[in-house]
Structure 1
Amino acid sequence: MVAGIVVKHAWLLMLSVIVTVLLSAVACSPRQTSSDIAPNADSLENVAYHKTTADTGNIVPTDKLYEQIADIVEGQPEKLIANPDSFYNIIPNTPETTYQQELYVYILSSMGYLLREHADIMQSIKYYEKAFQATKIYTLPDTDIDNDIVMPLANLYIRIDDNKKAISLLEQSIRTVKTSQNLSSFTNNLANAYIYDNHPSKAKSVILAILRTNPPLKPLLYNTLTSIYWSEDKIDSCKIYNRKALEEFEKITLTGDTILWYTNALSMAGRLSSSKRPLETSLKILEETFPVHKLREKAKLQLELATVYYSNSEPEKALSKYKQVLIYFSATDKYQLDYTYTQALAKIGDCYALLHRLDSAIAYYQWAIENDYRTQQLIVSKENQLKNNIWHKNLIESAITLCEQKLEIEPNDNMTLETMLWCIELGKARMLITEINRSEKWSSQDGDLRNAIQSIRTSYQELGEVDNYERRVQLQQNIKKSLLEFQLSEKYFEKISSPITQKEFIKTLKNENYDCYSYFIHQDSTLTVLGVVNQQIVYKKVSDKDLLTQIEKFKKTYFGDTPNSYNLSPASYKKEANKITEILLPAIARTKPNIFLSLDGLFHGLPFDALWNSGFLVEKHNFSYLNSFLLFDILSNNKVSATSVSILHRSEYQPPLPNLHFVKEEVKNIANKFLSQIIDPEEQHDSVLSEKFSSQHIIHIAAHAILEEDKEPCIYLKNRISTNQLAYYEMNTPLVFLSACNTGTGKPLPSEGTESIHRVFLSRGVPSVISTYWFANDEMMLSLTASFYEQLSATGYPMEALGKAKRTFLATASDREGNPWYWANINYAGVNNEIGLKKSSNLFFYCSLLVVLLLIPALFLYTRSKR
């Protein structure tokens, strides 16, 4: 161990055996405190522990126990690599002295380092984050936080493509580095983060600026500059700086990390020349220098070497090399949260496809998609999630192409159809699912984290109200800093769980109570439609590349600013709507009343219930619009019994916003019939909103929704509440009804639907959300809203309730009112959870009436007695 930190004693060898026994004892037990393990440590009482005051009975670890655990980390790393969480259970997490605190942080950061060296990225991040949080609690002047914790943690974020988080951490830390060596190192890592975040100009700027100072680590900086020019496809510049890097390496003795940097330069030379020799030399150097470590670095070199064979049309040799990439990762876990691993799996699929082994090719592509889904769940940055969605969709394109080749040979291959549907759904709503998984844990966190959440909400609220440029910039900087602190504190990596299996997924969709359709729009504008109808898979490939243009025109024509297009020719509408039905909903005649749709691209915002098939589809069917069928497993479907409605409303506004005259009537209609709490604008403070959202009441919001090109969508209650602010409320409500215009529309997001107000409620785990696609007509909104709550009270299911409300409306509607522009804008998204709605009680009214009736004769007798 590092000199001055741990004192060696001969008898510590005996303690090693004792602690090892403790490790075995707690291998499957939950996290323990020092008092939990004390009864099993009587033999350590005079060595590793001493007793505290008799009134508490606690047993506190001494320096020697921390020293002993640190020695195991150093000398017997295998004891923690296989099961780091069990090893963590024996570490006392309440160090008292500065010395114990230094050892505690050293142990955690060493665990992070060892796990990283063995390619266990998620666990490595988890323990580096624990170490980083500990440094914020304790003052540790002798701990090199920058190099030992911040630097590797930022590198790990880059590895999982959470580059925004890495950039925030590095930008914050680089301001306080104390040496030119550290400045060079941090600048280099920041540049790499910029490269992976698709900002090569920023990367180039910081590297060139520091190179002008003749800094240390010059060969490393040249390496990064080479990568920048490679990302910009400037091959000549790339060759120049690769040569400079190699020349610099010739001037120094290669040890430790410089060996890694040198092999990176060599591998780039191989990439530039499409030559195997530099790559083979680099791999040999790493194998000889780090026989049991640097596994991921070796895997990346092996991947590049295999790609050279693949590019040279040698699929058999490439296949062998790609499979060797997998060997560098754990042999016991099928899934490895690493993009190098995912890339190798996909390339193995490509090799099998070239060798005409379709079953193997499909299997490896499915494996790559499943692995990538798990890996992306590590990312919390919105921008990086969306970027990865685009990359992931290319994987799915390739997988579907292979599946469709198989279906040409075996058209009724049900397993291939199920695999295709599974892969498509894994590619949708990955950011939404991450947001749900993260936020459902926030309520169980400590007070500091909850306070941080409230602080972020408050900052977003002020940002929405302030027009002063300087103040807005300051608030944005404060929010960025707060978000980083929050992300580092939320312990997300301790809570990630695996998704359901394909078998479980298909079983969920083959349900007796509903049918499903899923859509995948290809890059060439063709369309794949997959569904589960009467527990059987249906499949349709739509090769008409003009279809999407026609549907986009259909939406704009009939569901734009006015209802006039339908009124001019209902027959034309029905003809077009029937054609779209036949294409998008094959076997619609055999479907059940409830239909769930997993949408893609421009299908978001298309009112399927207004399509036509011998009548509007809503006349026979209820529709739910989902981002992915995986939400069946993610969103809560627990029954909520006898709940009430919390009504958040505002009807009067300052120009240019018009007053909402229908809102008062809408509030009155709901409150008169159902148990309600009316929250007037003057009551709509953050604490009240927080209380209502976290309750199990239905939330009904009647107000303006505002969509502006350069800002987040918002609801305008007492104050503007942006989607960013809404994202930091705890929500336990079973249903949100957004009675406002355009709450279901917004900016398109790759594989995530639209950046809409309704989406943010789904992202907080709300299982049912009702919103609008376009301008809401006041009269129709009033009628449909009132009818919806009546039907919900009767049926208990919001999906059926909205469908019945529309059918009830159409049953008595005039020809003009039957125009779908009036009623089809209201839509349902969710899993159709059961909700019991309390009717308004008239008990108070009857009691008051009884009192009055009893008082009348008494008053009469009293009056007579006075005469």
Structure 2
Amino acid sequence: MFIDFRTWLIVLSISFLWVYPSQSQSISSADALFVQSKYDEAYQAYHAVAETYFSNNQLDEYVGCHLKMAECLISRGKVDAGIQSAESTIQFIHKNVSDTVTWTAHARMVVGNGYLHIGRNDLAIEQLLLAEPSLVDGTLELAECFENIGIAYWNNGNQYLALQYHEKALSIRNKQKAADVLLGDSNNNIGLVRLKDQPLQSIIYFNRALTFYESDLEANRRKIALCYANIAFASAELSNYQDALQYLDKMEAIWATIHQGDHANKAFVISSRGRIYEMKGEFDQALVYQQQALKMYLNLHGEKHPDVANTYFLIGQVYQEKSDYKMAAESYQQSIYANLFDQEEVDLYSLPVIENYYNADILLSSLQAKAKALEAYHFEKTLKLRDINGALSAYILCDQLINEIRQTRINEADKLRLSVIAADVNENGISISKYLSENTFRKKHYLELAFEFAERSKAAVLLSAINDTKAKHFAGIPDSELAIEDSLKTEIDYLEQMLLQEISDEDRLAFKEKLFDYQLSLREFVKELEINYPQYYSLKYNTELASVSELQAELQADQLVLSYFVGADKLYVFSISQNKYELLEVAKGEKFENKVLGMRNAIKYRMQDSFEPISSELYGLLIPKFSSQVKEITIFPDGILSTVPFESLVSETSPTTRYLIQDVAINYDYSATLYLQKRGSFINNGKALLIAPVAFSTSFGMSDLPATKEEVREIKYLFDGNQMGVETIVDDNANEMNFKKKLESGYKYLHLATHGVVDESNPSLSRIFLAPRGDEDGSLYCGEIYNLKINADLVSLSACETGLGKISKGEGVIGLSRALKYAGAQNLMVSLWTVNDQSTSDLMISFYKNHLIHSTSSGFTRDLQKAKLEMLNSEKYSMPYYWAPFVLVGK
């Protein structure tokens, strides 16, 4: 999957800065020239007025003119000169102007805008965030700053954050009854953020912006033109290509009246036509337009510029569609080096250093596309190792760059979106590594590389979050500091929950504004931690992954690891034992996902006749042959495989049905890296806490669980009999307040016998039900669990569907179990579907009885296997429906 940058340059051109108050007719004339895009004339006009101000010792006014001159340079395309001019003005401000803070903020906004124009979003954000605190709250200047921050965040892939900043800017402008042009800017930028995922919704915002701009046709010609382009792209997303081309005609007509000769806006129209013709499948015409646009961009910018890099990339895409893979790869290579401002291309196979780039996302797209082109060139044309090695090297660089980009993504939704791209990179990396392991003399090297690609595809966002938590602990950050972070996260969670409820538009706006403020405070707080505690920063961004040899060193002779990667057409199975490592490639066949879902449903709805043939077929696909010595298998699932219990796979159907659980114990984890992470970072009290609300409000639509009271009573007896401390909270006492208070003591075992619900569309609404109390309804939401501190060796959720959630490509299941893992649970026992109350109770009691017989053991896997086998061999609960859903995440 390529990142789509068809709209990336539009938003850059629509950034407008603070307009300094006119104090004379001359300034008014200069402002008018600036609005009319006559930047050279405006520059001269501001310069003349500035000289007069300086002669009269009106230094504030002199500074204002100089900053407008810098804006003229930036708008004219002389960005470096404009940035340098604004930075020189900052030095003048500090030496000569009384209101240093305010004027410096305005100068930083000019510098930030300059960096936006050349795609240096990281530097733009840095300057704009420095400016923001010095601007007066609720003013149009602050709204302008927020808008530009939103633009920069959108450019670097932080869509959620960008939308927040644009909505905040629009809110301020509405309250201030801002000019139509400013309201148009906000609506336009909100439309841009929504364009890719919600093109119809984006057109509504673009048309709204157009209405605002058309209130002054002459003054807003440039913005109207850009709005036409945005509507064109939204129309193209909806396959309305003729409408898209007509809007580009309108845009081109406006630029013809404004710009004489070559201009970046004219080149953009030409390139946009090429992109739309490519979408139509008219590749020859598309190539003509892209090459015309490239020629104009090169005349304007030279070889090093984001516009040039983007156009080379688009040319490469056309060649790729035409199956001219060599020309495609060469175009992508030119795109890569046009995006690097201090490196030069040697040949097609030269590799860049991933540093000093204009735009990370364009660079990632170009590297990924080059890899695909070289891969196709190898298999369809040359069969030369140089080409396939070149593809693999490009994928390795993609992986490196993704790690860097991930550190700039702030919201989890944007991180997960990047994981989808990473999964595509990793699949191709695995495939090529396996191919090279079979066709070169470096088999071990390439197999280890394949495992590394697979490992990077697993729960990278979760691993990063857990690393962040551990880094805070080991970096010695005081509890008082962490308490501030906890309070901010608690308030953010509350506001996010409220925004998911049915509330009035007025309340929704108020909650959004509060959420924006709290999230901004949290980001600033974390940034301060990174500065003040260097060890925290170092540990937080540690991306070292577990290797095959490290995993093998931890395995016993009777243990096996099976790690899965579900590709588009193939299934990759990594089989790792103490002394052996194999990578198997299996064709998924038709309707693989449907078969997995069918197996799950057949168990869940007790359709044994349908279940056995599907389960047997999946056993053949998923489980490689293993030694009879193996007694325990650890599964690292991927995608939809996270929703089924491998224990229930049928290994034999005659003379009787035999399940995998009858041969080996099974446990699960998110990745090898998380599996091997050191346990016991926090101290617990060695006791057990058992919780059972028993009765549930009818408003929840949940049945009472009378067997859970007996369940916790029996489990308590088991712990008492082994002289281990245990506490129970049942009935009305099993409420949220008591639960959170008890957690402060840090229990070794945490057992919740209650209902749980997973919301796959909104994972943050997934919840565990406790007893209501006062204004608490008893819902412990997923977002709240993330903010808990759980030091338990084992958390058992004797509840419904607590192991499920939203499946995210490259991340696995997003739900309650993930939240508990993040909160510190070392091992988890969760369920994959709703199970009979009494059978659940019996299994849990049996599990703890098995475990406490050898309470010195640190593992839980074989204790759960024994409990399941007892049920399987019973007359009443032998069907997989009863014993299969409970799975152990951990050891």
From the superposition, tell whether residues 123 and 671 of structure 1 become closer, same or farther in structure 2 (CA, over 3 Å).
farther
Output the amino acid matched with 1:638.
S
Q: Contact conserved, 1:275 with 1:308, CA < 8 A, in 2?
A: yes
1:601 aligns with 2:639: yes
From the superposition, tell whether residues 289 and 799 of structure 1 become closer, same or farther in structure 2 (CA, over 3 Å).
farther
Deviation at 1:827, TM superposition (A): 1.0
Q: Contact conserved, 1:706 with 1:715, CA < 8 A, in 2?
A: yes
Deviation at 1:340, TM superposition (A): 0.9
Taking the TM superposition and a 5 Å limit, the aligned residue runs for 1:350-389 are 350-356=372-378, 357-376=387-406, 378-389=408-419
Q: Contact conserved, 1:426 with 1:630, CA < 8 A, in 2?
A: no
Query: Which residue number corresponds to residue 532 of structure 1?
Result: 576
1:826 aligns with 2:886: yes
From the superposition, tell whether residues 776 and 306 of structure 1 become closer, same or farther in structure 2 (CA, over 3 Å).
closer
From the superposition, tell whether residues 652 and 98 of structure 1 become closer, same or farther in structure 2 (CA, over 3 Å).
farther
Query: Which residue number corresponds to residue 736 of structure 1?
Result: 795
Distance (Å, rounded) in 2 between the aligned partners of 1:804 and 1:486? 45
Query: Which residue number corresponds to residue 586 of structure 1?
Result: 624
Deviation at 1:329, TM superposition (A): 2.8
Query: Which residue number corresponds to residue 560 of structure 2?
Result: 515
Distance (Å, rounded) in 2 between the aligned partners of 1:784 and 1:762? 23
Deviation at 1:481, TM superposition (A): 4.2
From the superposition, tell whether residues 648 and 457 of structure 1 become closer, same or farther in structure 2 (CA, over 3 Å).
farther
Taking the TM superposition and a 5 Å limit, the aligned residue runs for 1:143-292 are 144-147=141-144, 149-177=145-173, 178-196=178-196, 198-213=197-212, 214=214, 215=216, 216=220, 217-253=223-259, 260-272=264-276, 274=285, 279=290, 282-283=293-294
From the superposition, tell whether residues 272 and 734 of structure 1 become closer, same or farther in structure 2 (CA, over 3 Å).
same
Which residue of 728, 738, 751 maps to 1:678?
Answer: 728
Query: Which residue number corresponds to residue 306 of structure 1?
Result: 316
Taking the TM superposition and a 5 Å limit, the aligned residue runs for 1:471-510 are 480-491=512-523, 497-498=540-541, 500-501=543-544, 504-510=546-552
SS of match in other structure, 1:239: helix
SS of match in other structure, 1:604: helix
Distance (Å, rounded) in 1 between the aligned partners of 2:811 and 2:753? 26
From the superposition, tell whether residues 805 and 352 of structure 1 become closer, same or farther in structure 2 (CA, over 3 Å).
closer
SS of match in other structure, 1:538: strand
Distance (Å, rounded) in 2 between the aligned partners of 1:298 and 1:637? 52
Deviation at 1:239, TM superposition (A): 1.5
Deviation at 1:345, TM superposition (A): 0.8
Q: Contact conserved, 2:756 with 2:801, CA < 8 A, in 1?
A: yes
From the superposition, tell whether residues 693 and 225 of structure 1 become closer, same or farther in structure 2 (CA, over 3 Å).
farther
Query: Which residue number corresponds to residue 717 of structure 1?
Result: 770
The gaps in structure 1 that reach 5 residues or longer are: 6-62, 64-69, 82-86, 92-96, 833-867
- Structure 1, residues 474-520: CA drift from partner, whole Å, max 9, x if none? 66655544444344333367559545356x53343333425321223
Q: Contact conserved, 1:442 with 1:490, CA < 8 A, in 2?
A: no
- Structure 1, residues 155-174: CA drift from partner, whole Å, max 9, x if none? 22222333222122212211
Distance (Å, rounded) in 2 between the aligned partners of 1:325 and 1:470? 48
Which residue of 589, 593, 598 maps to 1:545?
Answer: 589
From the superposition, tell whether residues 592 and 254 of structure 1 become closer, same or farther in structure 2 (CA, over 3 Å).
farther
Deviation at 1:675, TM superposition (A): 1.9
Deviates more, 1:394-403 or 1:713-722: 394-403
Which residue of 774, 793, 805 maps to 2:833?
Answer: 774
* Normalised TM-score (structure 1): 0.72
Deviation at 1:423, TM superposition (A): 2.2
Taking the TM superposition and a 5 Å limit, the aligned residue runs for 1:6-45 are none
Distance (Å, rounded) in 2 between the aligned partners of 1:613 and 1:3? 74
From the superposition, tell whether residues 354 and 667 of structure 1 become closer, same or farther in structure 2 (CA, over 3 Å).
closer
From the superposition, tell whether residues 810 and 584 of structure 1 become closer, same or farther in structure 2 (CA, over 3 Å).
same
From the superposition, tell whether residues 439 and 237 of structure 1 become closer, same or farther in structure 2 (CA, over 3 Å).
farther
Deviation at 1:199, TM superposition (A): 0.9
Output the amino acid matched with 1:139.
V
Output the amino acid matched with 2:164.
S
Taking the TM superposition and a 5 Å limit, the aligned residue runs for 1:323-334 are 323-327=333-337, 328-329=339-340, 333-334=353-354
Taking the TM superposition and a 5 Å limit, the aligned residue runs for 1:782-797 are 782-789=841-848
Distance (Å, rounded) in 1 between the aligned partners of 2:684 and 2:310? 54
Query: Which residue number corresponds to residue 139 of structure 1?
Result: 136
Q: Contact conserved, 1:223 with 1:242, CA < 8 A, in 2?
A: yes
Q: Contact conserved, 1:534 with 1:591, CA < 8 A, in 2?
A: no
1:623 aligns with 2:674: no
Distance (Å, rounded) in 2 between the aligned partners of 1:682 and 1:124? 54
1:422 aligns with 2:472: no
Deviates more, 1:240-249 or 1:536-545: 536-545
Distance (Å, rounded) in 2 between the aligned partners of 1:195 and 1:769? 40
Distance (Å, rounded) in 2 between the aligned partners of 1:172 and 1:334? 34
Distance (Å, rounded) in 2 between the aligned partners of 1:802 and 1:665? 24
Query: Which residue number corresponds to residue 306 of structure 2?
Result: 296
Distance (Å, rounded) in 2 between the aligned partners of 1:414 and 1:319? 29
Matched residues, percent identical?
A: 17
SS of match in other structure, 1:511: helix
From the superposition, tell whether residues 605 and 212 of structure 1 become closer, same or farther in structure 2 (CA, over 3 Å).
closer
Q: Contact conserved, 1:386 with 1:431, CA < 8 A, in 2?
A: yes
From the superposition, tell whether residues 694 and 317 of structure 1 become closer, same or farther in structure 2 (CA, over 3 Å).
farther
Q: Contact conserved, 1:125 with 1:156, CA < 8 A, in 2?
A: yes
From the superposition, tell whether residues 304 and 657 of structure 1 become closer, same or farther in structure 2 (CA, over 3 Å).
closer
CA RMSD of aligned residues (A): 4.5
Output the amino acid matched with 1:230.
A
Distance (Å, rounded) in 2 between the aligned partners of 1:109 and 1:660? 60
Q: Contact conserved, 2:636 with 2:668, CA < 8 A, in 1?
A: yes
Output the amino acid matched with 1:599.
P
Deviation at 1:150, TM superposition (A): 1.7
Distance (Å, rounded) in 1 between the aligned partners of 2:427 and 2:122? 28
Q: Contact conserved, 1:784 with 1:806, CA < 8 A, in 2?
A: no
Distance (Å, rounded) in 1 between the aligned partners of 2:605 and 2:18? 71
Query: Which residue number corresponds to residue 757 of structure 2?
Result: 706
SS of match in other structure, 1:190: helix
Taking the TM superposition and a 5 Å limit, the aligned residue runs for 1:840-855 are none
Distance (Å, rounded) in 2 between the aligned partners of 1:142 and 1:660? 56
SS of match in other structure, 1:770: strand
Query: Which residue number corresponds to residue 660 of structure 1?
Result: 705
Query: Which residue number corresponds to residue 50 of structure 2?
Result: none
Taking the TM superposition and a 5 Å limit, the aligned residue runs for 1:110-129 are 121-122=121-122, 124-125=124-125, 128-129=128-129
Output the amino acid matched with 1:268.
S
Deviation at 1:548, TM superposition (A): 4.9
